[in-house]
Amino acid sequence: MGSGSETICLTIPEHVLTSSGRRMQRLGFGTAAYPLVTPEVTKAAILQAIKLGYRHFDTAYIYGSEQPLGEAIVEAISLGLIKSRDELFITSKLWCSDAYGDLVLPAIHRSLQNLKLEYLDLYLIHFPLSLERGLYEFGVRKEAIDTMDFVSVWTAMEECQRLGLTKSIGVSNFSCKKLADILAFAKIPPAVNQVEFNPLWNQKKLREFCNANGILVIGYSPLGASGTLWGSNQVLENEVLKEIADTKGKTVAQICLRWAMEEGVGVIVKSFNGERMKQNLEIFDWSLSEEESKRIDRLPQSRCSTGELFVDEHGTFKTVEEFWDGEV
């Protein structure tokens, strides 16, 4: 599994989603780019990822990456990199301005059209809130934020699965309380909760709740979202993680990803840099010692979250704590 090889690793650990029986690589390739890049750059990175062995791809309508992902899938098949779309696991997400009972079906149809696909493997509610209809932007006006009608939106998500438009449904950025609200009435429970997850925000309480309810946690920002508006370099600059990395001859990023694998969660990695794309796959032929895991477990916890984008002292969510139902 040397870094000079074009195909790095085809034995990424998998999780079988009970709702669909579909096998999902626990290391997924994220397509959200910040700062923004051209569709051509995104498509080229996805093709490179497929060549390297990635089969799980994470997109969302708001990322603007559905179309280049769809084009990359078509090209990957024509090049013989994969035999069919069925070899891939594709996740997309319902944006907040479509988080209304009557807009969910049109939204998933639009995503499928962008992706040139007949079905998704997983469709997630992106955030547990609604925005003004027709507002498709990340820099949201606080007055456009509203609470979500969970019953109508989740019922429409269940209809997406029943119609075969997606094999599984789930949520993203949901607290234990908001998950409990969904579970109280859901006929099809969420298969996944995708949330911020890294050694400095290990989501222990949320993971325990999800595990008890058969919900797989998938982590985004496994390296702390360094370089984004909402992230920081605290994870990559952490002295304990750097010491462990030096001892093992690995990068801090590899330590974080290996730790996540050993914690049993799924992880979305995002790098369009070819060398780092390879390094992110080179985490499966070694392990952390018990003492190293304990040192990571003892790290002080601090969230660096996209939830702050929706917080305003005069708005629906006045503090980050309120957005996360006190689970901060």
Q: Which residues are catalytic?
A: 63
Q: Which two tokens stand for residue 10?
A: 């085809």
- Reported in sequence order, the residue ranges of 165-234 that DSSP labels E, i.e. its strands, are 166-172, 192-196, 216-220
Q: Count Cβ atoms within 10 A of the Cβ of residue 169 and give its class: 0-12 exposed, 13-18 middle, 19 or more buried.
A: buried
Q: Which two tokens stand for residue 228?
A: 């984004």
Measured over the CA atoms of residue 286, residue 46, residue 234 and residue 261, the dihedral's sign is negative
Judge whether 34 and 272 are in contact, CB under 8 Å: no
Judge whether 115 and 73 are in contact, CB under 8 Å: yes
C-alpha–C-alpha distance, residues 131 and 128, integer Å: 10
The secondary element (H helix, E strand) that includes residue 56 is strand 56-58
